[in-house]
Structure 1
Amino acid sequence: MSYVVDFTEVSTVGLESSPVADALAGLRANEARYFKNKYDHVFTTSPASEARETVDWVHEVLASERDIVIASPPLEATEFVVDGHRWAYVFYDSGLSINVLYALEAGGKRAVGFKLSDGMDVPDELSGFKFARQKSKLAGTIRGSYFVIKGEH
């Protein structure tokens, strides 16, 4: 069952099993606010079990680009196209959020972003990345990193 993410009343719906559920819900709400304000897009997630194709695509990009396998189980995912870009998000039990930005036209921006919820440790599989900090009213302190996608996916 899909969930329209509300960024005015932050809810842990779908994320309850995470040890950092409140911070992860804030992170998810932060993303929802960004897409609503920038693109007038309503950010809607589905349980990972119902969004298998999205989760598999994100995992394929991670594995083929950087040999990364995420240890934490995925909880929710979403995929949509706005402004000529395919976006995919996966939210994990550990508090990790991964997004893939993939321009539909050749030569456009293509990258993978990682965001760590407030209170979670850097997962071992991402220990080689440097994380910058940003403050969010919805999510507290978010630590983020990214890499540029070189291949076709």
Structure 2
Amino acid sequence: MSYIVDFKNVSTVGLESSSIAEALAGLRANEARYFMNKYKHEFTVVPASESQETLDYVNEILQKERDLVFAAKPLETSYFQVENIKWAFVFYEDGLVVNVLYTVDGPKPKRAVGFKLSEGMEIPKELEGKFKFARQKSTLAGTIRGSFFVIKGEY
């Protein structure tokens, strides 16, 4: 069952099993606010158990590009296209959010994988020492630590 993320009234719906559900919900709401403000797009998530195709897509890119496989349990995903950009998100139980930005056309396509860490979580062992994380303040999510890498292949 899909859920439209409300960034005005932050809710932990779907994220209750996370030990940092409040922080993860704030990060999810922060993403929802971004897409509403920038694209007028309602950010909708579905349980990971109902979105194997999105999980497979993100996992394939992580595996082939950087040999990354996360031990954390995926709780929710989101997959949509706004303008010429396909977006995929996976929200993990430990507080990690992985997103894939993939432009479908244009002279200089932008294609990248982003990592965001919820406030209060440790850097996952799979990412330790491999990425530098920048800090960003958010009224909804507190301090977000983020990093990314550019996708080289075609997916």
TM range (shorter): over 0.9
Q: Which residue of 2 aligns with 1:146?
A: 148
- Larger displacement relative to structure 2 (68-77 or 100-109): 100-109
Q: Which range moved further: 106-115 or 21-30?
A: 106-115
Give the gaps of 5 or more residues in structure 2.
none
- One-letter amino acid of the counterpart of residue 143, structure 1: R
Separation (CA, whole Å) in 1 of partners of 2:78 and 2:50 = 10
C-alpha displacement of 1:110: 0.1
Q: With structure 2 as the length reference, what TM-score do the two structures score?
A: 0.97
Q: Distance in 2 between matches of 1:83 and 1:65?
A: 25
1:37 Cα offset (Å): 0.4
Distance 1:123 1:54 in 2: 21
Q: After superposition, where does 1:1-153 map in structure 2 within 5 Å?
A: 1-105=1-105, 107-127=108-128, 128-153=130-155
Q: Which amino acid aligns with 2:127?
A: L
Q: Distance in 2 between matches of 1:9 and 1:114?
A: 24
Cα distance in 1 for partners of 2:153, 2:109 equals: 12
Cα distance, 1:83 vs. partner? Answer: 1.5
Letter of the 1:5 counterpart:
V
1:47-106 per-residue CA deviation (whole Å, 9 max, x = no partner) reads 001111001100100000000001101000010000201000000000000000001016
C-alpha distance in structure 2 between counterparts of 1:71 and 1:145, whole Å = 19
**Displacement over 2 Å in runs of 4+:** none
CA distance in structure 2 between the partners assigned to 1:55 and 1:33 by the alignment: 23
Distance across 1 between alignment mates of 2:55 and 2:11 = 22
Tell me how far apart the structure 2 counterparts of residues 130 and 88 of structure 1 sit (CA, whole Å): 22
Query: How many residues are paired up?
Result: 153
Residue identity matched to 1:75: L
Separation (CA, whole Å) in 1 of partners of 2:20 and 2:117? 10
Provide the secondary structure at the position in 1 that maps to 2:126.
helix
Q: Percent identity?
A: 67
The alignment's C-alpha RMSD in Å is 0.7
Letter in 2 for 1:112: V
Q: Which moved more, 1:96-105 or 1:106-115?
A: 106-115
List alignment gaps of at least 5 residues for structure 1: none
